[in-house]
Structure formats: structure tokens, C-alpha cells
Amino acid sequence: MPKFEKLRLGVNIDHVATIRNARGGGLPDPVRAAELAAQAGADGITAHLREDRRHISDNDIERLANNIGLPLNFEMAATEEMQSIALRHRPNACCLVPEKRQEVTTEGGLDVIGGRDNLQKIIAPIKDAGIRVSLFIDPEAAQVEAAHALGTDIIEMHTGTYCHAHADGDQAAFDAELLRLQQAAAQASGLGLEVHAGHGLSFGTVSPIAAINAVVELNIGHFLIGEAIFVGLEGAIAQMRGLMLDARRNASSDA
Ligand code: PXP
């Protein structure tokens, strides 16, 4: 019987803050969403404190770091400001992402090769503080290699291109990107890195990613918060977990 590896679900609650900030004030509260996600069986909470503070605020991060009983995955740009916030709150993990003011969301992975010196400077004190480091990258062999050389603990593979191909109904692009994700996951885990994936995942796209045995964590936000409007956050999380579990079980029995 092949070993069944657990697949964790990290729930990204950024877009509860997006709705709050559309009106100002304190409601809806992303920390309440994090507590509910914990009750619904999430394994972790992800939040991205963007430099422009368009959704999550400094106060949200402080409350998430102190009040929820789940590991916090702190998404951050590779800047000294974010480094000092991470060192103050000591989340379970810091996931470094590229950030552009003009973008609607994180559009691509980090350029670990071109940004090596700055990344090194930002991640060294974070690692020294005992915080796990994750680099959000596209599924490219050279980026995986560079991430490993930098001493990261984790890579998170950007699934945005894969999800766009699905939305466009472009089967050839979908298959090609899924293959890249499978190959990058195998390469990274062969190098001893922990492998996560996320961005744009939905009920329609999660299963093939959940079936990649090397992937141990998915971080999912926008779709779950949107689906929560219709079925509640607990219902949305339960259905997502069910799909993840089925895909992983089937993949394990195929192995
Ligand atoms: N992982 C990372 C590194 C991200 O930047 C994001 C988006 O903030 C996600 C996962 C979640 O993406 P989505 O909200 O599209 O599910």
C-alpha cells in the first residue's frame, strides 16, 4: 500500500480585508475569518501584508500572529520594512513574493536568480530567527535550483498560469503547465525542499495539483472567500478539503 502523504490547506484571508477596506471601518474582520477557518479544519492561515496595505493591515498581522491557534504564513515582499515586521511577529513561515504596486494580484513568481543578493540579505536574519522561509516561484528548473542554492526551506509554486489556461479552456497550455508543475515539484523535493503551491486555485483546478505527491501544502484564498458568499466559509473549506483528499488518495493508490 503506497504511503498516503497528508496535504495541508492554508487559507488566505486577504480578501476579507479587501471587503472591509472597501468601506473603511473594521468589518468584516479577517481575524474572525481566520478563527472560523481554524474551526473548519484549515491547517494554517496565510496573509499578505502588501507595501501599499491595500487589504491586510499591520494590526491584522499583529492579531493574526497572536490570536489564532494555527501556523501563520506571512507573505511579504523582499524589503527591509517587511523583514523587520516579520522579525517582530515571528510567524511560522515567511513566504517571499514579488510585489508591484500596479498589479491587481501577485502576477508571477520571484526572480530568484536576478534578485539573489537582495533575497540573501532579507532571508538570512529571518532564517537565523528560526522562521521558515518560502520562496514563491514559477515552476522553472533554474528558479528551483537558485532557490535551493539560497538555502530556502520551502518553495511555493505559482499556479496562476495553470489556472488561467483552465479558465481559457486551453487544454494544450493547461497540460503543458501541469507538467511543468509536476516536474518542478519532483525536482524541488529531490533537492530536499518542502513544496507548496497556490494562486488562483478553485474547485475546478485543485485536484491535479493536489494529486502531485511532492506537494504538501496548498494556499488558497480568493476562490474560498468568494465561495463563502454562497455556502459559508466552513462549507467552502470542507468542500475544498474533500477534493484535495480525494485527489491525493487516488494519486497514492495509482503510485
Ligand atoms: N500563495 C501566494 C504566495 C499568494 O501570493 C497568493 C495570493 O495572495 C496565494 C497563495 C493565494 O492565491 P489566491 O487568493 O488566488 O487563492
> Is 44 part of a structural domain of the chain?
yes
Q: Give the number of domains in the chain.
A: 1
What are the pLDDT digits (tens) for 99-128? 977 777 777 899 999 999 999 999 999 999
**Residue 145 to residue 104: CA distance in whole angstroms:** 28
Residue 116 in any domain: the answer is: yes
Whether residue 100 contacts residue 107, with contact meaning beta carbons closer than 8 Å, is answered with yes
Q: Find the domain containing 237 and state its range.
A: 8-254
Residue 118 and residue 100 in contact, taking contact as beta carbons nearer than 8 Å: no
Beta carbons within 8 Å of 191's beta carbon, 6+ residues apart: 144, 145, 148
Residue 1, in any domain of the structure: no
- Is 86's pLDDT higher than 80? yes
Atom of ligand 1 nearest to the CA of 106: 5
162 lines ligand 1 (CB under 6 A): no
Distance CA 208, CA 38 (A): 25
> Would you state the pLDDT for residue 126?
98
In a domain, 3, yes or no: no
Q: Is 206 close to ligand 1, i.e. is its CB under 6 Å away?
A: no
At 195-220, the pLDDT tens digits run 999 999 999 999 999 999 999 999 99
Instruction: Name the nearest CA neighbour of 229 among 3, 7, 15.
Output: 15
CB neighbourhood size of 120 (10 A): 13
Does the beta carbon of 220 lie inside 6 Å of ligand 1?
yes
- Condensed to tens digits (0 to 9), the pLDDT of residues 139-187 reads 999 999 999 999 999 999 999 999 999 999 999 999 999 999 999 999 9
CATH number of the domain encompassing residue 242: 3.20.20.70
Spacing, Cα 229 to ligand 1 middle (Å): 19
Task: Supply 201's cell numbers.
Answer: 486555485
| Phi, psi torsion values for 186, nearest 5 degrees | -65, -45
Q: pTM for the whole thing? A: 0.96
Q: Is 106 in the pocket of ligand 1 (CB under 6 A)?
A: yes
119 domain-assigned: yes
Residues classed as catalytic: 48, 75, 199
For 33-85, write each residue's pLDDT tens digit.
999 999 999 999 999 999 999 999 999 999 999 989 999 999 999 999 999 99
